[in-house]
Structure 1
Amino acid sequence: MSAEEKKTRQMPKGGRKGGTIFPRIALQDAVGYARRLVSKTHTSRQPRDVIYSGVVGAKAGIGDVRISALKQYGFLDGDAKSGYTADELAKKIVAAPPEELPHLYGQAVLKPTVFKRLFDTFQSDTVTRAKLKQRAADLKVHPDETDTCVELYVASLATAGLVSVDGDRITHLASADMSETAAISVVTDENNQSLSNNSTVNSPATRIDAGSDTEAAASDIGEEDKNGFPVPPGNSAQPAPRANFNVNVTLDSSMDIEKLQKQLELLKRFGAI
């Protein structure tokens, strides 16, 4: 073999397989790293070696893959030169109550381009993993990575509540359902805030004051006896309160004696005389 032939022959180089990128870790794992990230970068940006050891738990290679995934989900901001910090979405997830987490997870899982386009294609549909793999290939995911992409996609959207899994069948939520869920969450938050700012709305005193005068009077009078006079409550554990007022009775020859007797009995029953 001549020297010229040896010069022209080259060995193939290794490296990335190529194709469209996608997060190489599931959303559930990324959320765990995001929580550490918020804690580590609470005061200032941190260099890459701190993120490697204190957040993703791996050095170059695997560590870079996890950092890339955190960026794709919208959890991490920065680079090796300026340092890294937690993005706003990661901070919201750490601070959010449990009922708000699915909505925030839904925002995160649809940030990666491949996941978003897969979901947009099959929203409100039930499809098989094979169909998802076919679509991933159309989106230029490397043929050797379509299985991994689909498994991470399904697991991540299930964490966010955007798909349900029944064996090999994946049912996607509709976009309209997502909007309705978000609206309900906002309304609930506003109602809770309103009740918090007006804590006396549900207090017993407020409900009593809201009753009508007629209802209060009926409660005080109770039943009537056979003569049509009100009967003061007699079964209550507390004695009926005595009224404090003055009674002036004017007698003349034209007054109906029976009517006067009934009025006096009524005053006596209520402790007026």
Structure 2
Amino acid sequence: MNMTEKKTRQMPKGGRKGGAIFPRIPLSDALQYAKKLVSKTHISAQPQDLIFSGVLGAKGSAGEVKISSLRQYGLLTGDSKTGYLAEELAKKISAAPQEELIPLYQQAILRPNVFKKLFDTYHGDTVTKAKLKQRVSDLRVHPDQAELCVDLYIAGMLFAQLVAVDGESISHISLSELSGSEKQSHDNNEKKGGFTENNYEDSEVIEAGIDNAADTTEVVTSYDNVGPSQQLKHDLSTPRAIFNVNISLDSSLDTEKLQRQLELLKKFGAI
């Protein structure tokens, strides 16, 4: 009797399937984890178990997948031995005002090697999802993961405003548009918000004096939905300041203009 028993070898369940790696969570989710990571590691690097429980809400292989994804997006650095820290990009995103976030999101989505190569291939072009899957295959992503890879790429690129989707068509912005997006964001921020001198066309108000006060009120009215402007409009219509009015009368005075000025002064409670 043969005492040697043959045992059937069983393949382990789960684990990586091989092929090129890519982030396995959407950029939007990674950014939420990165925000917590910045807060938790503000003073120093933190151990893996704290990151698993306090930042990622997962442990074991699920936590490792999230850590890998954050690292690929450029949001996390460190390892299980020395602890984990928020990467500089994550800190910038956490501190940036809303109008400056898109260029930072674009940096994050283009950090993963596979996503960067997809964009390098198709920037400025409109392609189908099938075309993206074909390119993903060329980049050695495992066939079983190609669909997921493309879906995560499209979702992240949409979030970062690098593509537009119309049915089956995915349109990528060009490199020139990408390089100019940060400048455009800065310019828009300069033009946006507040009641600036240009909003009121101050040069005309100064030259015309009180005769243009009604125009100023109309400008404020156009900002009613902003919030603070409602109070500002109320303040203009019921002035609390003390007016000192000096009117010089001579033969060259335009009586019609004087009449309008007097009517405005009466309207605003100055006389």
Does the pair score TM above 0.5? yes
Share of identical aligned residues, percent?
50
Q: Distance in 2 between matches of 1:48 and 1:209?
A: 63
Q: Look up the SS of the partner of 2:262 in the other structure.
A: coil
Deviation at 1:39, TM superposition (A): 1.0
Query: What is aligned with 2:29?
Result: 29
Q: Look up the SS of the partner of 1:62 in the other structure.
A: helix
Cα pair distance change 1:5/1:95, threshold 3 Å? same
Query: What is aligned with 1:125?
Result: 125
Q: Distance in 1 between matches of 2:199 and 2:55?
A: 47
Answer with 133-142 or 169-178: which moved more: 169-178
Q: Distance in 2 between matches of 1:52 and 1:121?
A: 36
Cα shift readout 1:148-188 (whole Å, capped 9, x = no counterpart): 10010101110000011122221111111111222222445
Query: What is aligned with 1:82?
Result: 82
Question: So what's the TM-score if we normalise by structure 2?
Answer: 0.71
Matched, 1:230 2:252: yes
Deviation at 1:203, TM superposition (A): 11
Q: How does 1:178-193 map to 2 (within 5 A)?
A: 178-188=178-188, 191=190
Deviation at 1:52, TM superposition (A): 0.3
Query: What is aligned with 1:70?
Result: 70
Q: Distance in 2 between matches of 1:133 and 1:149?
A: 8
Question: So what's the TM-score if we normalise by structure 1?
Answer: 0.70
Please identify the structure whose Cα radius of gyration is greater: 1
Q: Distance in 2 between matches of 1:20 and 1:83?
A: 26
**2:100–2:186 CA contact under 8 A, matched in 1:** no
Q: Distance in 1 between matches of 2:40 and 2:71?
A: 16
Q: Look up the SS of the partner of 2:140 in the other structure.
A: coil
Query: What is aligned with 2:97?
Result: 97
**1:221–1:232 CA contact under 8 A, matched in 2:** no
Task: Please report the RMSD computed on the Cα atoms of aligned residues, expressed in angstroms.
Answer: 3.5
Cα pair distance change 1:29/1:3, threshold 3 Å? same
Q: Distance in 1 between matches of 2:42 and 2:21?
A: 29
Q: Distance in 2 between matches of 1:188 and 1:171?
A: 24
**2:19–2:140 CA contact under 8 A, matched in 1:** yes
The residue type equivalent to 1:231 in the other structure is L
Q: Distance in 1 between matches of 2:11 and 2:52?
A: 28
Paired residues in the alignment total 221
Q: How does 1:83-232 map to 2 (within 5 A)?
A: 83-188=83-188, 191=190, 207=203, 229-231=251-253
Q: Distance in 2 between matches of 1:40 and 1:79?
A: 15
Q: Distance in 1 between matches of 2:16 and 2:95?
A: 37
Q: Distance in 2 between matches of 1:126 and 1:25?
A: 25
Cα pair distance change 1:179/1:221, threshold 3 Å? farther
Q: Look up the SS of the partner of 1:127 in the other structure.
A: strand
The residue type equivalent to 1:230 in the other structure is S
**2:70–2:76 CA contact under 8 A, matched in 1:** yes
**2:38–2:86 CA contact under 8 A, matched in 1:** yes
Q: Distance in 2 between matches of 1:48 and 1:138?
A: 35
Unpaired segments of 5 or more residues in structure 2? 208-246, 264-271
Query: What is aligned with 1:53?
Result: 53
Answer with 172-181 or 106-115: which moved more: 172-181
Deviation at 1:126, TM superposition (A): 1.1
Cα shift readout 1:32-86 (whole Å, capped 9, x = no counterpart): 1111111111121110011101111101111100010000000001111111111
**1:127–1:169 CA contact under 8 A, matched in 2:** yes
